[in-house]
Structure 1
Amino acid sequence: MDLLEANNLLLTISGKKNKLRIYFLSWLRNKILHDDPEVEKRQGWTSVGDLEGCTHYKVVKFERMRFLVVGRRSSIEIYAWAQKPYHKFMAYKEFSDLKHKPLLVDMTMEEGQRFKVIYGSTEGFHAIDVESGSCYNIYLPTHSGSPLIPQTIVVLPSGRGWQLLLCYDDEGVYVDTYGRARRDTVLQWGEAPTSVAYIKPQHVLGWGEKAIEIRAVESGQLEGVFLHKRSKRLKFLCEHKDKVFFASVRAGRSSQVYFMTLNRNPESNW
């Protein structure tokens, strides 16, 4: 999920048809406090377009521009945020009939000029040039068993939009948007994580069944470990202000939501 507090919005993939929905924070707040009858009467959520079967989405911001990248069964759609009086995401680009089903999506802007969509599938990682629509592979691991599990795509803060950390299964590799290896370093998790997230500006977290690992995003080095009291499968939800939220994954049962408070002291990051 994503929280766009300045826009009064919460984004999430919801329902049996995996629709991408926008919930209004004022409506959610009123569901708890019941202090505004006018808000109570309003529709509390709306769908983005007519999207069903969404697999993943990512909100990205470049200067004053904000985009919503959405992966579906065999396509990727891009929406651009329109300010008032529209105040909503509007269709911008669509790339259909993709060879590989997008399970993970992101977008970058190389050198402040060229937009590229980066996405992960069960085969590896791929890129789409937004202007031309051309699609090509950037990393197809040969040593990993199939199907591959893409975990997260990180556009490195020091890489001017074209250096990436691609995490899958229990490791991560450093390549550029053309598929060239940028470093000999490989990020290796202690155990295969059920969820991985980039926590800006300098860490990547892996939620395993026995521990949460904290690693430096630029080097992959281990910087901290939080052990669980008992074995759990955990999934990243979102980062907001000084907290990271995640949930337990339970088949057919209710989940619990947890959070970690981040220490923003430059000398102690947690």
Structure 2
Amino acid sequence: IDVNVSPHIDENNQFKSNAPEIRKYKKRFNCDILCAALWGVNLLIGTDNGLMLLDRSGQGKVYSLIKGRRFQQLNVLESQNILLTISGKKNKIRLYYLSFLKNKIVKSQTNDGKRPAFTNLGELQGAKHFKIVKYERIKFLIVALDDSIEVYAWAPKPYHKFMTFKVFSQLSYRPLLVDLTIEEGSRLKVIYGSTYGFHAIDLDTSNQIDIYLPSQLNDSVIPHAIIVLPNTNGMQLLLCYNNEGVYCDTYGKKSKDILLQWGELPTSVAYISNGKVMGWGNKAIEIRNVDSATLDGVFMHKRAQKLKYLCEKNEKVFFSSIRNGSSCQIYFMALNKMSS
């Protein structure tokens, strides 16, 4: 990947390049990488044929943890000792115990076979996407299913599990992407994306509204990201779909007369914790300011290739190439030089 980021001038009128550092891990994967999540400094990798761990603290060794199972989404909840997954042929929500995975790496026998390796979240099947959101001291889990959305709350010991909080089964559209926003610190609202646009459900009243339905689109909507803008009391959103993004509030009112327009149709869009939103296209990766949609940087590929966003933490962004017949690799980008 070639880096092409506009240089900035510092106080002494000296040009300084804010080009982030990009690395590529040597390991070539002969399966499709679908998702990833950081566990400490190491990277858990979900593929179409198993779960692996990339040791980032050492020589980049890859450990196979679970074989023969498809992993679509991962989220590490370290304080709960849980790896939350959408996995298997039936897309179940399965919770693996981190202690079990750790024992597989260090080949420890302390598990003694008594403690189960995982537990499923009820009888759920057909999960499309989930999101973990903290509100005060509660961890909420929002799950998009084939034709419903379910909200769970984490119950600490002695229960130590997610318990049903709300179920919304009478939906006007099939959810593909979900999030939860807390308006003004008190009102909880589910935001979800479908092939028609973006919608909201008030958790107290169960009222459903359409937030944004693109009117000029002939094709169906591909929802990429629901971004709750920082410092807006959970009221302002950037909704990214197809090759653009719109700014509106949680009631569907347009909040900015700006349209975020990507240079090409991205395969992935993600909000990064330093106030940037990134789009991965076939020709380039674009970095934009989340508040103004202005272009902050472009990374041109040496040759056209499809890339997929995996995860981000502390301005370290992980993404992978999409396998095209042979193998794929994982990339790592440090954005801390670009902090605004």
**Candidates 257, 270, 275, aligned match of 1:197:** 270
Whether 1:213 aligns to 2:283 is no
Paired residue secondary structure (2:102): helix
Contact 1:234 1:247 in 2 (8 A): yes
CA distance in 2 between partners of 1:9 and 1:253 (Å): 33
1:231 is paired with a residue whose SS is coil
> Where do 1:19-38 residues align within 5 Å?
19-34=92-107, 36-38=108-110
SS in 1 for 2:180: strand
TM-score, normalised to structure 1, is 0.91
- Aligned equivalents of 2:200, 2:325: Cα separation in 1: 35
1:14-40, Cα deviation, whole Å (9 max, x unpaired): 111111222222222222221x21237
**Corresponding pairs, count:** 266
Residue 63 (1) aligns with residue 133 (2) = no
| 1:109 correspondence with 2:159 | no
Instruction: Report the alpha carbon displacement of residue 242 of structure 1 after superposing the two structures with TM.
Output: 4.6
Matched, 1:260 2:333: yes
Aligned residues of 1:157 and 1:201 also touching (Cα < 8 A): no
Secondary structure of residue in 2 paired with 1:32: helix
| Rg (Cα) greater in structure | 2
Matched to 1:39, the amino acid is: N
For residues 136-155 of structure 1, the aligned pairs below 5 Å read 136-155=209-228
Runs of 4+ deviating beyond 4 Å: 251-255
Pairing 1:10-21 to 2, within 5 Å after superposition: 10-21=83-94
Query: What does 1:220-239 align with in structure 2 at a 5 Å threshold?
Result: 220-239=293-312
Which blocks of at least 5 consecutive residues in structure 2 are unaligned? Answer: 1-73
Q: Distance in 2 between the 1:189 and 1:169 partners?
A: 9
Aligned-pair identity in percent equals: 57
**Higher relative contact order, chain-length normalized (CA < 8 Å, sep 6+):** 2
Is the contact made by 1:123 and 1:146 (CA closer than 8 Å) also made in structure 2? no
2:111 to 36, 39, 46: 39
Distance 1:25 1:243 in 2: 22
User: In the alignment, is the contact (CA less than 8 A) between 1:204 and 1:214 conserved in 2?
Assistant: yes
Letter in 2 for 1:245: F
Are 1:134 and 2:204 counterparts? no
**Offset at 1:12?**
2.2
Q: Give the TM-score normalised by the residue count of structure 2.
A: 0.73
**Structure 2 residue matching 1:37: 3-state secondary structure:** coil
Aligned-pair distance for 1:89?
A: 1.2
Change in CA separation of 1:67 and 1:108 when aligned onto 2, cut-off 3 Å: same
| Structure-1 separation of matches of 2:328 and 2:142 | 27
Q: Which residue does 2:27 correspond to in 1?
A: none
Match of 1:269 in 2: 339
2:233 is the alignment partner of 1:157: no
Report how far residue 243 of structure 1 moved: 2.3
Q: Residue 58 and residue 256 in structure 1: after superposition, are their counterparts in 2 closer, same or farther (change >3 A)?
A: same
Shift in Å at residue 252 of structure 1? 7.7
Counterpart in the other structure of 2:251: 178
Q: Distance in 2 between matches of 1:253 and 1:21?
A: 30
Q: Hey, what's the Cα distance between the residues in 1 that align with 2:290 and 2:241?
A: 14
**1:241: Cα distance to partner?**
4.0
Paired letter, 2:231: S
Of 157, 165, 169, which aligns to 1:92? 165
Q: Provide the rounded CA distance (Å) in 2 between the counterparts of 1:176 and 1:93.
A: 23
